[in-house]
Amino acid sequence: MSAYLRPAFGIIKWVIALGIVGYLIYQNSEQFRRLCTEPIHWQFLVAAFVLCGSSIILTFYRWYLLVVALDFPFKFSDALRLGFLGYLFNYVSPGAVGGDVVKGILMAREQKGRKSVAVATILLDRILGLMGLLIVGAGATLLVADDIQRRDLIVKLLWGGSIAGLTGLLAMLHPATPGSWWMKLLIRIPKAGHIIADIADGISLYQQRRAIVALTVVLSVIGHFGIISSFYCCARVVATAAETPSYVTHLLLIPLAEIVGVIVPLTPGGLGVLEAAVEKSYELAGANPAIGLLAVGAYRVTTILVAAIGSVYYLASKRQIQEMLAEEQASSEAASTTGHDQIENAPTIEPAPAAEREA
């Protein structure tokens, strides 16, 4: 993407996000007016912040375990620094650069050896996070007694995603995977082969430390219990227990809403997308969707306060981070230009004379 288009693309994402949020608020304006007259339960907002902050730090610890399991020189303080920076950049990223991308760039610069494996830990951490959400939701299907619309579809999505994720993880930890024929085939791919070979070596190390990988799955489930508990507290900030879907119903419906907010990259931090998904979830539970939107608003406050911690790390090394991002942008644009020039300058093949074609 051109350097001139990146800022414009970032602005477009924010316009889309604010447009979605504005439309949802307008759609539920009457309910908002009524709810705004209700008292705010501040104790639930404090509880939401504590639960959200501790759960996010737990996800940073999960990533730390994934990194040190591969024998990288990495401290938990490094995981906190890069984790909070990534969380901050999910909201204030320049152009199309997201938090995971920033973490990947900084991680690759700090880990001189096996850069591709170091960056791959971020992807694995994100996959484990999504899998933890699905497992929490799948477990909740065994507890929910409420008559929720389209429950069969929700159950299939949650259990199907959980089983698929666990199957993929077990396949990664199978002793035959690093030396399998398809892995050897991937290693032969030009340019990308050496990266895949490094990742295969990383998989071999994970296979020697299966207990750590299993622990990261458990931590993912615990962390998302905390996140969804935080969300439930946010709902209780603005509504009574009678007006709010039950805690177990939140465990069932919010995982899919969170996943939609993550995998739909239209807006910074899933702003607007998560709100729309939660509104739909509350409708399926037969609750007032305006309560869901206000709950997301309170949840945004807690996450932004957590992200603000990342600004401390950013200000402490602002110049270094900006230089790294600028270098990465320049190198990606140079690679794109080189590829374009190679296509344009490729030799043209003239058609053979008619006599040669007939021969």
Q: For residue 321, what are its two tokens?
A: 């981070």
* Predicted confidence (pLDDT) at residue 221 exceeds the cutoff of 90: yes
Q: Residue 236: helix, strand or coil by DSSP? A: helix
Identify the pLDDT of residue 166.
92
pLDDT tier, 353 (very low <50, low <70, confident <90, very high otherwise)? very low
User: What SS3 state is found at 218?
Assistant: helix
Which single residue is written with the structure tokens 């082969």? 193
CA distance 26 to 39: 22
What's the pLDDT tens digit per position in 42-63? Answer: 899 899 999 999 999 999 999 9
Q: Which residue has the tokens 């305006």?
A: 290
Do residues 325 and 94 make contact, with C-beta atoms less than 8 angstroms apart? Answer: yes
Distance of CA 133 to the CA centre of its chain: 11
Please give the pLDDT value at position 62.
94
**More confident call, 340 vs 123:** 123
- For residue range 80-91, list pLDDT tens digits in order: 888 888 888 877
Query: Burial letters for 192-222: b for 16+ Cβ neighbours within 10 Å, e otherwise?
Result: eeebbbbbbebbeebeebeeebeebbebbbb
On average, the pLDDT of the chain sits at 79
> Which residues have C-beta within 8 Å of that of residue 136, sequence separation ≥ 6?
221, 224, 225, 228, 251, 255
Name the residue ranges covered by the structural domains of the chain.
41-323
Looking at the chain, which runs of residues are DSSP E strands?
none
Q: Using one digit for the tens of pLDDT, what is the confidence trace for 104-151?
A: 777 877 777 677 787 888 888 888 989 999 999 999 988 876 667 677
